[in-house]
Amino acid sequence: MGKIEDLQVINGEGYQLSTLDKVIAAARKNSVWPLPFATSCCGIEYMATMGSNYDLARFGMERMSFSPRQADLLIVAGTISKKLAPILKQVYEQMAEPKWVLSVGACASSGGIFDTYSVLQGIDRVIPVDVYVPGCPPRPEQIIDGIMKIHEMVKNEPLRRRYSDEYKSLMNKYNIEGNEE
Protein backbone atom coordinates (compact mmCIF):
# COMPACT_ATOMS: atom_id res chain seq x y z
CA MET A 1 0.00 0.00 0.00
CA GLY A 2 2.79 2.40 0.73
CA LYS A 3 4.39 4.34 3.50
CA ILE A 4 2.17 5.56 6.29
CA GLU A 5 3.41 9.17 5.89
CA ASP A 6 2.10 9.17 2.30
CA LEU A 7 -1.41 8.58 3.57
CA GLN A 8 -1.32 11.72 5.74
CA VAL A 9 -3.53 10.00 8.28
CA ILE A 10 -5.37 11.49 11.23
CA ASN A 11 -4.76 9.27 14.23
CA GLY A 12 -7.35 8.64 16.89
CA GLU A 13 -7.79 6.06 19.59
CA GLY A 14 -8.23 2.77 17.73
CA TYR A 15 -8.60 4.33 14.27
CA GLN A 16 -6.77 6.13 11.49
CA LEU A 17 -8.44 8.35 8.94
CA SER A 18 -7.36 9.36 5.46
CA THR A 19 -9.10 10.22 2.20
CA LEU A 20 -9.64 7.96 -0.81
CA ASP A 21 -7.55 10.37 -2.92
CA LYS A 22 -4.58 10.03 -0.61
CA VAL A 23 -4.84 6.24 -0.25
CA ILE A 24 -4.94 5.75 -4.04
CA ALA A 25 -2.12 8.26 -4.61
CA ALA A 26 0.06 6.55 -1.98
CA ALA A 27 -0.54 3.15 -3.61
CA ARG A 28 0.35 4.56 -7.03
CA LYS A 29 3.44 6.38 -5.79
CA ASN A 30 4.89 3.28 -4.16
CA SER A 31 4.27 0.89 -7.05
CA VAL A 32 5.30 2.77 -10.18
CA TRP A 33 5.89 0.45 -13.13
CA PRO A 34 8.50 1.99 -15.43
CA LEU A 35 8.86 1.43 -19.14
CA PRO A 36 12.48 2.15 -20.10
CA PHE A 37 12.68 3.60 -23.61
CA ALA A 38 16.47 3.53 -23.79
CA THR A 39 18.22 4.19 -27.07
CA SER A 40 21.84 5.04 -26.24
CA CYS A 41 24.38 5.97 -23.54
CA CYS A 42 21.86 7.43 -21.06
CA GLY A 43 20.20 4.01 -21.11
CA ILE A 44 23.39 2.53 -19.66
CA GLU A 45 23.19 4.98 -16.75
CA TYR A 46 19.61 3.88 -16.22
CA MET A 47 20.78 0.24 -16.12
CA ALA A 48 23.27 1.24 -13.41
CA THR A 49 20.39 2.88 -11.53
CA MET A 50 18.58 -0.47 -11.60
CA GLY A 51 21.66 -2.32 -10.26
CA SER A 52 22.30 -3.31 -6.66
CA ASN A 53 24.30 -0.17 -5.78
CA TYR A 54 21.39 2.17 -6.38
CA ASP A 55 18.58 -0.36 -6.27
CA LEU A 56 15.29 1.07 -7.54
CA ALA A 57 13.55 -1.84 -5.83
CA ARG A 58 13.78 0.26 -2.65
CA PHE A 59 11.04 2.41 -4.14
CA GLY A 60 8.81 -0.43 -5.32
CA MET A 61 10.09 0.01 -8.88
CA GLU A 62 11.91 -3.24 -9.63
CA ARG A 63 9.21 -4.38 -12.01
CA MET A 64 10.20 -3.11 -15.48
CA SER A 65 7.54 -3.22 -18.11
CA PHE A 66 8.30 -3.63 -21.77
CA SER A 67 4.63 -3.48 -22.61
CA PRO A 68 3.15 0.03 -22.57
CA ARG A 69 -0.16 -1.39 -21.42
CA GLN A 70 1.31 -2.43 -18.07
CA ALA A 71 3.41 0.67 -17.38
CA ASP A 72 2.70 4.07 -15.90
CA LEU A 73 6.11 5.79 -16.07
CA LEU A 74 7.77 6.25 -19.45
CA ILE A 75 11.51 6.77 -18.94
CA VAL A 76 13.10 8.10 -22.12
CA ALA A 77 16.89 7.78 -21.94
CA GLY A 78 18.96 8.51 -25.01
CA THR A 79 19.00 10.16 -28.40
CA ILE A 80 15.67 10.08 -30.24
CA SER A 81 15.87 10.37 -33.99
CA LYS A 82 13.05 12.04 -35.92
CA LYS A 83 12.29 8.65 -37.48
CA LEU A 84 11.80 7.18 -34.00
CA ALA A 85 9.57 10.01 -32.76
CA PRO A 86 6.26 8.51 -34.07
CA ILE A 87 7.10 5.18 -32.37
CA LEU A 88 7.77 6.97 -29.07
CA LYS A 89 4.45 8.75 -29.39
CA GLN A 90 2.67 5.48 -30.16
CA VAL A 91 4.18 3.86 -27.06
CA TYR A 92 3.01 6.83 -24.96
CA GLU A 93 -0.49 6.62 -26.42
CA GLN A 94 -0.68 2.90 -25.65
CA MET A 95 0.01 3.49 -21.95
CA ALA A 96 -3.09 3.63 -19.78
CA GLU A 97 -3.89 6.70 -17.69
CA PRO A 98 -2.64 7.92 -15.32
CA LYS A 99 0.86 8.04 -16.79
CA TRP A 100 3.97 10.12 -16.32
CA VAL A 101 7.09 10.83 -18.40
CA LEU A 102 10.69 11.24 -17.24
CA SER A 103 13.14 12.65 -19.76
CA VAL A 104 16.65 11.44 -18.88
CA GLY A 105 19.64 13.39 -20.18
CA ALA A 106 20.38 16.17 -22.61
CA CYS A 107 19.50 14.19 -25.76
CA ALA A 108 15.99 13.21 -24.69
CA SER A 109 15.35 16.67 -23.23
CA SER A 110 16.75 18.87 -26.01
CA GLY A 111 18.59 16.83 -28.65
CA GLY A 112 21.80 17.37 -26.65
CA ILE A 113 24.91 17.84 -28.73
CA PHE A 114 23.14 16.47 -31.80
CA ASP A 115 21.79 19.63 -33.34
CA THR A 116 21.34 17.88 -36.67
CA TYR A 117 18.67 17.29 -39.30
CA SER A 118 17.97 13.74 -38.06
CA VAL A 119 17.65 14.17 -34.27
CA LEU A 120 14.49 15.23 -32.46
CA GLN A 121 15.31 18.38 -30.48
CA GLY A 122 13.56 17.20 -27.34
CA ILE A 123 10.86 14.58 -26.78
CA ASP A 124 8.47 17.29 -25.60
CA ARG A 125 7.99 18.07 -29.29
CA VAL A 126 5.86 14.90 -29.51
CA ILE A 127 4.78 13.94 -25.97
CA PRO A 128 4.27 15.86 -22.70
CA VAL A 129 7.14 15.55 -20.20
CA ASP A 130 6.70 15.73 -16.42
CA VAL A 131 10.33 15.86 -15.23
CA TYR A 132 13.60 16.56 -17.05
CA VAL A 133 16.90 15.17 -15.76
CA PRO A 134 19.89 17.23 -16.98
CA GLY A 135 23.31 15.78 -17.80
CA CYS A 136 25.28 14.02 -20.52
CA PRO A 137 24.94 11.46 -19.11
CA PRO A 138 23.24 12.12 -15.78
CA ARG A 139 24.62 10.13 -12.85
CA PRO A 140 22.32 7.47 -11.33
CA GLU A 141 21.86 9.82 -8.34
CA GLN A 142 20.41 12.44 -10.71
CA ILE A 143 18.08 9.87 -12.28
CA ILE A 144 16.91 8.84 -8.80
CA ASP A 145 16.36 12.53 -7.98
CA GLY A 146 14.16 12.80 -11.10
CA ILE A 147 12.23 9.70 -10.06
CA MET A 148 11.72 11.16 -6.56
CA LYS A 149 10.24 14.26 -8.19
CA ILE A 150 7.88 12.06 -10.20
CA HIS A 151 6.90 10.31 -6.95
CA GLU A 152 6.07 13.69 -5.39
CA MET A 153 3.85 14.51 -8.38
CA VAL A 154 2.12 11.12 -8.20
CA LYS A 155 1.55 11.48 -4.46
CA ASN A 156 0.01 14.92 -4.80
CA GLU A 157 -2.04 14.40 -7.95
CA PRO A 158 -5.79 14.84 -7.41
CA LEU A 159 -7.89 11.89 -8.63
CA ARG A 160 -9.80 14.05 -11.13
CA ARG A 161 -6.78 15.76 -12.71
CA ARG A 162 -6.85 13.57 -15.82
CA TYR A 163 -10.42 14.73 -16.53
CA SER A 164 -9.67 18.42 -16.06
CA ASP A 165 -9.91 20.97 -18.88
CA GLU A 166 -6.26 21.83 -18.34
CA TYR A 167 -5.19 18.21 -18.93
CA LYS A 168 -7.49 17.84 -21.93
CA SER A 169 -6.02 20.94 -23.53
CA LEU A 170 -2.50 19.58 -22.90
CA MET A 171 -3.46 16.37 -24.72
CA ASN A 172 -5.08 18.39 -27.53
CA LYS A 173 -1.86 20.36 -27.92
CA TYR A 174 -0.06 17.10 -28.66
CA ASN A 175 -2.91 15.77 -30.75
CA ILE A 176 -3.40 12.87 -28.37
CA GLU A 177 -6.81 11.53 -27.49
CA GLY A 178 -7.46 12.16 -23.79
CA ASN A 179 -9.92 10.84 -21.23
CA GLU A 180 -13.62 11.29 -21.78
CA GLU A 181 -16.03 11.57 -18.85
Which residues of the shown chain bind ligand SF4 in the complex (CB under 6 A)? 40-42, 78-79, 105-107, 112, 136-137
To ligand SF4, the closest distance from the beta carbon of 77 in angstroms equals 7
CB of 18 to ligand SF4, least distance (A): 40
Which of residues 6 and 45 has its CB atom nearest to ligand SF4 in the complex? 45
Q: Which residues contact 142 (CB under 8 A, 6 or more apart)?
A: 133, 134, 135
Collapsing DSSP to helix, strand or coil, 22 comes out as helix
Nearer to ligand SF4, 56 or 107 (CB): 107
- Exposed / middle / buried, residue 158 (Cβ in 10 Å: 0-12, 13-18, 19+): exposed
- Residue number with CB closer to ligand SF4 (47 or 170): 47
Q: Which residues contact 119 (CB under 8 A, 6 or more apart)?
A: 79, 80, 81, 82, 107, 111, 112
Q: How far is the CB of 43 from ligand SF4 (least distance, A)?
A: 7
